[in-house]
Amino acid sequence: MTAESDDHITLGIETSCDETGVSVVENGRTIRSNIVASQAELHEEYGGVVPEVACRAHVEAILPVLEEACEVAGTSLEDVDLIGITRTPGLIGSLLIGVQAAKALSLSLGKPMMGVDHIQAHLFSCAFAAHTSGDCTIDQIPFPQIGLVVSGGHTGLYRMTGHGDYERIGSTIDDAVGEAFDKVAATLGLSYPGGPSIERAAKDGDPTAIDFPRPMMDSGDYNFSYSGLKTAVLYHCRDRWDVEEDPPPENAVPDIAASFQEAAIDSLIGKVETAVEEHDARAISVGGGVAANQRLRTKLNNLVRERNLDLFIPPISLCTDNGAMIAGNAYYLAQTQDPDRLDMDAVPTR
């Protein structure tokens, strides 16, 4: 199957961290392909992303992932009408691989290129997912909203008054929440990335077994802190076992995982709840890899039910880093903005 000539095809490219993602989106709403090459195995032995390793892996993955995305979509590069590319924030070496690929495609195909903000794309993916699934159109999404972006690199709370109109009202003062899941998983001898393995282990554990701290719950602002919680888990283990040598015994892991997960999520929920109240929000949007967590989803669902709000969380494939959210956001931006020029920079911090 090939695209009809009047279909608008957006190619979305994402390389800001350790996932090489390319997606083909038709008319801004139908995801024809969404291919992600994860580097998780490469970074596993380090318990976190190594920037230089990530950058080299993107170089190797970008062309095969691009070819696969076109093949699965039944699209040739000549059919592409717009190239969306993550330009900020992220690891500079990783961002540059995607940005250079997008520039090369734009120049050689003579097609426009739109730089996309990765955080905005995570927030936009909530509206995009509702739109692609037919739940509501992008124009029907209610505002103001509170946006929560929770990933391996970011933990931020945003007041959103429209798509792309957002103000950061809080963020982590140290580790990102996903990073805390990854580091605690390493302490517990669980595999990387830590989020899914902690969640799996926590299923057999008691979330009230250990009273880990809920960091900054009463700080009076919207900031988060995860470094102290991570250290509390380490000290809990160190006091009982020689964790420098071996991970804690298998039968102790579920309670620690469940108690850590509960503390990490409680501090997210506490801030979201206050923000919703103080900003008269009508909805909550959540993006980033940690949004895949079922315990977080359950607690958010309870919160919106109690307060009669809408909740927008994308399916897991659109929560973690992917090219579809970049294509969707680029298409939306292109309705009102000129494309970027070839001298566009990759910018590591916003």
Token pair listed for 153: 């690199």
Residue type at position 20: T
Of 79-87, 146-154, 156-164, 212-220, the window that binds Zn ion (rule: CB under 5 A) is: 146-154
Q: Of 69 and 286, which CB lies nearer to ligand KG4 in the complex structure?
A: 286
Give the shortest CB-198-to-ligand KG4 separation in angstroms. Answer: 6
Which of the listed partners (ligand KG4, Zn ion, none) does 178 bind, with a CB threshold of 5 to 8 Å by partner kind?
ligand KG4
Q: Helix, strand, coil shares of the chain as percentages rounded to 5?
A: 45, 20, 35
User: Which residues form the interface with ligand KG4 (CB under 6 A)?
Assistant: 17, 151-153, 178-179, 181-182, 193-196, 199, 288-290, 292-293, 320-321
Binding pattern for the stretch 302-341 against Zn ion, x by CB under 5 A and - elsewhere: -------------------x--------------------
Which residue has the closest beta carbon to ligand KG4? Answer: 195
Q: Cβ contacts of residue 238 below 8 Å, gap of 6+? A: none
Which of the listed partners (ligand KG4, Zn ion, none) does 205 bind, with a CB threshold of 5 to 8 Å by partner kind?
none
Report CA dihedral (59, 63, 64, 66) to the nearest 10 degrees. Answer: 130
- The DSSP secondary-structure symbol of 335 reads T
Q: Which of left, alpha, beta for 193 (phi over 0: left; psi -120 to 50: alpha)?
A: beta
Q: Of 115 and 287, which CB lies nearer to ligand KG4 in the complex structure?
A: 287
Q: Of 98 and 195, which CB lies nearer to ligand KG4 in the complex structure?
A: 195
Beta strands 165-171 and 283-287 are unpaired
| Contact assessment for residue 350 and residue 327, using Cβ atoms and an 8 Å cutoff | no
Of 5-13, 145-153, 201-209, 254-262, the window that binds Zn ion (rule: CB under 5 A) is: 145-153
Q: Of 11 and 292, which CB lies nearer to ligand KG4 in the complex structure?
A: 292
Q: Of 106 and 197, which CB lies nearer to ligand KG4 in the complex structure?
A: 197
Which of the listed partners (Zn ion, ligand KG4, none) does 129 bind, with a CB threshold of 5 to 8 Å by partner kind?
none
CA distances from 36 to 19, 155, 206, 210, 338 (A): 6, 22, 34, 37, 28
Spacing of C-alpha 190 from chain mean position = 21
Of residues 83-112, those binding Zn ion (CB under 5 A): none
Beta strands 283-287 and 310-312 are parallel
Q: Cβ contacts of residue 103 below 8 Å, gap of 6+? A: 113, 342, 344
Which of the listed partners (Zn ion, ligand KG4, none) does 120 bind, with a CB threshold of 5 to 8 Å by partner kind?
none
Which of the listed partners (Zn ion, ligand KG4, none) does 115 bind, with a CB threshold of 5 to 8 Å by partner kind?
none
User: Contact between 151 and Zn ion (CB under 5 A)?
Assistant: yes
Give the shortest CB-321-to-ligand KG4 separation in angstroms. Answer: 4
Residues that bind Zn ion (CB under 5 A): 151, 321
